[in-house]
Amino acid sequence: MSEVAIGDKTYWVGVNDRTTDLFEGLWPIEGIGVSYNSYIIKDTKNVLIDLAKAIKTDDFFDQVTNIIDLDKLDYIIINHMEPDHTGVIKTLRMVAKNAEILCTPKAVNMLREFYGISDGIRAVKDGETLSTGNHQLQFYHVPFVHWPETMVTFDATTNVLFSCDAFGGYGAFQGTIFDDECTQLDFYTKESLRYYSNIVAKFSNSVLNAINKLSGLTIKTIAPSHGLLWRKDPGKIVQLYKKWAEYSTSGGEKGVTLLYGSMYGNTETMMNAVAQGISDGGIHPEIYDVARTHVSYMLPSLWKNKGVVIGAPTYEVSLFPYMQAALEKAKLKTVKNKKAIYFGSYGWSKGALKKVNEITEGLKWEILEGLEFPGQVTPELYKQGYEMGKRFARSIE
Ligand code: FEO
């Protein structure tokens, strides 16, 4: 995509990345991609805000040099140091010799550690303003959204908030960068929640602090560094992020995520009984086979729903390994304050429920019931599973 004007002398100069298949080397984006949004403000002093991943170096420089001569670049604002936004910086430094890097004090060290860059950098204070001529840029430190060195840049002249990862999401652009021109808002909203649960959720307290800190600003456009720019309804993505961040303490909304794995079909049979009970109890469960689904796709559901059902057999006196991996990722991402139940078949020894309790310890999960059964699902057990599902659904508010 070529550059797009987003405000007075302000341009999007980002790139789509449809080559990377795992974001952060972890999270699948194959088939949908991601954008690295960069911005230029052309003024008495020229400014470049956030960069791109090194894999997109040529595309990035094509975009930027369509708008400015790099000899005339005065400032490079680094809101966040992660290499998806800084990967091209060593090359940029070689060609934009007059540009000064502006970032938080913590990012100064990281620039040296990641890229060996230690000169031509100025740390900006929280709340500091930079006049570029006609534009007044304000810097607000927002630590741990989602790294310790992060900040956002607010253009008080155009009321554009350059928020970097905050308010971003997966999904390369499909012809337009703006919310009001996009006909797939549901897709981008869904991918924003997946991005939030994969990348940002662990730092939900910091997200709420940042939203609170920025609440006094009159924002006309949210310009993140991944995904859509929100100019028609900037409040929408802020409210969504706020709602998702609050799930970290509330445990989420009325809903049930059912994770299951099965070796020979016995636990799967019980899963069907429990799912039927949950459904008859008034909630449509979101069902994931943990052996066949990447955890990236389970995390949004786990983050959003108050209820979690864990159905997995005992494996070598412990938990079915794919379930263990899924729950450990949920723990890493601090999926907290859930209500849960467990069921699963065992062969020669129990052990799965004990492991579930071990993994979820410290996450404030209330394990309401556990049903470990030997071998197959008898008609009596099927009824037990159904009733457990029904009770569980009715306990979720
Ligand atoms: Fe998009 Fe944390 O980098």
Is residue 59 within 6 Å of ligand 1 at its C-beta? no
- Residue with the smallest CA separation from ligand 1 atom 2 is 82
Contacts of 174 (CB under 8 A, 6+ apart): 182, 184
Across the range 332-339, mean pLDDT stands at 98
Ligand 1 center to 66 CA (angstroms): 25
132-175 tens-digit pLDDT: 999 999 999 999 999 999 999 999 999 999 999 999 999 999 99
Give residue 346's pLDDT.
98
Based on the fold, state whether residues 244 and 285 are members of the same structural domain. no
Task: Tell me, yes or no, whether 288 and 175 share the same domain.
Answer: no
Task: Quickly state the pLDDT bin for 359 (edges 50, 70, 90).
Answer: very high
Q: Are residues 336 and 190 in the same domain?
A: no
- 225 CA distance to ligand 1 centroid (A)? 8
**C-alpha 259: how far from its chain's center?**
21
Which of 187, 218, 249 is the endpoint of a domain? 249
Query: CB within 8 A of 176, min separation 6: which ones?
Result: 182
Ligand 1 close to Cβ of residue 50 (< 6 A): no
Which residues, in sequence order, are bridge partners of residue 77?
49, 102
Whether ligand 1 lies within 6 angstroms of the CB of 226 is answered as yes
- Asked if 202 and 67 sit in the same domain, the reply is yes
Q: What is the CATH number of the domain that holds 367?
A: 3.40.50.360
Q: What is the domain-level CATH number for residue 132?
A: 3.60.15.10
Backbone angles phi, psi at 243, to 5 degrees: -60, -45
Q: Is 179 in the pocket of ligand 1 (CB under 6 A)?
A: no
Asked whether the beta carbons of 356 and 389 are under 8 A apart, the reply is no
Verify that 182 and 305 share a domain, yes or no: no
Number of structural domains (the chain) is 2
- Ligand 1 midpoint to CA 85 (Å): 7
Q: Are 238 and 272 in contact (CB under 8 A)?
A: no
Any ligand 1 atom below 6 A from CB of 85 = yes
Q: C-alpha angle 44/47/51, rounded to 5°?
A: 165
- Residues 173-223 pLDDT 10s: 999 999 999 999 999 999 999 999 999 999 999 999 999 999 999 999 999
Whether residues 240 and 299 fall in one domain:
no
* Distance (Å) from CA 13 to ligand 1 centroid: 17
Q: How far, in Å, from the CA of 345 to the mean position of ligand 1?
A: 41
Q: What is the pLDDT of residues 233-292, one digit of tens each?
A: 999 999 999 999 999 999 999 999 999 999 999 999 999 999 999 999 999 999 999 999
For the chain, give the secondary structure using H, E and C: CCCEEEECCEEECCEEECCCCEECCCEECCCCCEEECCEEECCCCCEEECCCCHHHHHHHHHHHHCCCCHHHCCEEECCCCCHHHHCCHHHHHHHCCCCEEEECHHHHHHHHHHHCCCCCEEECCCCCEEECCCCEEEEEECCCCCCCCCEEEEECCCCEEEEECCCCCCCCCCCCCEHHHCCCHHHHHHHHHHHHHHHHHHHHHHHHHHHHHCCCCCCCEEEECCCCEECCCHHHHHHHHHHHHHHHHHCCEEEEEEEECCCCCHHHHHHHHHHHHHHHCCCCCEEEECCCCCHHHHHHHHHHEEEEEEECCEECCEECHHHHHHHHHHHHCCCCCCEEEEEEEECCCCCHHHHHHHHHCCCCCEEEEEEEEECCCCHHHHHHHHHHHHHHHHHCC
- Distance from residue 53's CA to the centre of ligand 1 (Å): 10
Rg for the chain (alpha carbons), in Å?
24
Average pLDDT over residues 87-112: 97
Q: Give, using CA atoms, the residue closest to atom 3 of ligand 1.
A: 82
Phi, psi of 380 (to 5 degrees): -65, -40
Co-location of 236 and 257 in the same domain: no
Q: Do both 64 and 168 map to the same domain?
A: yes
Q: Which domain holds residue 185?
A: 4-249
Q: Ligand 1 pocket, 339 CB below 6 A?
A: no
* 143 plus 38 within the same structural domain: yes
Mean pLDDT of the chain: 98
Residue 227 and residue 175 share a domain: yes
**How far apart are the C-alpha atoms of 205 and 215, rounded to whole Å?**
15
Q: Which of 215, 249, 283 is the last residue of a domain?
A: 249
Percentage of the chain exceeding pLDDT 90: 100
- Looking at 194, 222, 249, the residue that finishes a domain is 249
What is the phi/psi pair of residue 15, to 5°?
-135, 150
Please tell me the pTM assigned to this model: 0.97
Is the distance from the beta carbon of residue 80 to the nearest atom of ligand 1 less than 6 Å?
A: yes
pLDDT range class, residue 102, cuts 50, 70, 90: very high
Kindly indicate the confidence band of residue 330, based on its pLDDT and cuts at 50, 70 and 90. Answer: very high
Q: Looking at the structure, tell me whether residues 210 and 291 fall in a common domain.
A: no
* Residues 45 and 145 both lie in one domain: yes
pLDDT band of residue 340 (cuts 50, 70, 90) is very high
Work out the average pLDDT over 310-333: 98
